[in-house]
Amino acid sequence: MSHTVEKPEEEKAKEQVEAPVEAPKPPAPPGPQVYVIDGDIFTIYYDVKVIGVGPGTKIEAQIDSVLLGGAVGYVSEATMAKYFYTLCRRYSLEEAVSRIERIRTSRCVFVPVDEEISTQAAKLLCKYGDKLALDEAFLVATAQAKNATILTTSESVRDVAQAEGLPVVYVKARP
């Protein structure tokens, strides 16, 4: 008579071959930071680079990153038009042309007004028209289209961006 002895559960478990467990894959490195830049941000950045002080220190790292190619900086053509006008009024036509040329030859990406962005800007004006200027609506619409963080000196843009759930870095340009 043969006798069979049952193995204890622990031994059975050891004998079972388990499939090797793969280590979890690390997350893909994030892409570059993406910004949409308001015109006056360039002025306060320029001031901090030339004078060495001012509110531009708050956005200096972001703009440096854009200018060195470590981040993407979008600028709406509507923003460029308004900024050119602002520079003409504040300084002179010659100074405006000089500053605009420096921006246009930088690594910034200039976003033309297209149907998607103009329609979104119009919707923003319908919703926030009492708080938002036309160029500011294009700035916010561009940020929505590019899924970007807004860099601005405008309280209105800051408030609308926050209401729309967009990331925003606000710099108070003047006391």
Return d(Cα 156, Cα 42) in angstroms, integer: 18
Q: What does the block give as tokens for 134? A: 């036309």
Task: Quickly list DSSP for 50-81.
Answer: HHS-SGGGGTHHHHHHHHTTSEEEEEEHHHHH
What pTM, to 2 d.p., does this model score? 0.80
Q: What does the block give as tokens for 151? A: 């860099």
Sheet (strand 33-37) strand order = 109-111, 71-76, 33-37, 149-152, 168-170
Give me the residues of the chain with pLDDT under 70, please: 1-31, 174-175
Arch. (CATH architecture) of 33-170: 3-Layer(aba) Sandwich (3.40)
Handedness of CA 57, 59, 61, 65 (dihedral sign): negative
Q: CB–CB of 62/32 below 8 Å?
A: no
- For residue 112, what pLDDT is reported? 97
Give residue-wise pLDDT tens across range 94-119: 999 999 999 999 999 999 999 999 99
